[in-house]
Amino acid sequence: MAVTVGREDRGDIKITVELAPEGHGIEVELESSLERLYGESIREQIKNELKKFGIADAKVKCVDDGALPYVISARVEAAARLLLGEGKDER
């Protein structure tokens, strides 16, 4: 199962996360207007945020258009919570 959060809007990032087989690691495919400047930093931030939720094996696809670090963190957190079943509406 894959989950997608965010939008392809200026200042935002669209992130799709899918769990991968154990031992795969976290693979981040990034499309960004700031790839040359911040691509590696964005990838590391995404990996670190996923690890906070115990996710060690995942395939991540991102479309970034200048999202600030706090936006990236919030989007990754939302994706992780949905993927782990923590973001479901309890009503």
- 91 belongs to a structural domain: no
**CATH (domain of 24):** 3.30.230
Domain of residue 78: give its range.
2-83
Residue 89 located in a structural domain: no
For the segment 46-89, what is each residue's pLDDT rounded down to a tens digit?
A: 999 999 999 999 999 999 999 999 999 999 999 999 999 976 54
pLDDT given for residue 90 in this prediction: 46
Nearest to 5 by CA among 58, 63, 89, 48: 63
> Is 88 within the bounds of a domain?
no
pTM recorded for the entire structure:
0.90
44 falls within a domain: yes
In angstroms, how far is CA 12 from the centroid of its own chain? Answer: 12
**Maximal C-alpha separation, the chain:** 44
Is the residue at 64 inside a domain? yes
Count how many domains the chain has. Answer: 1
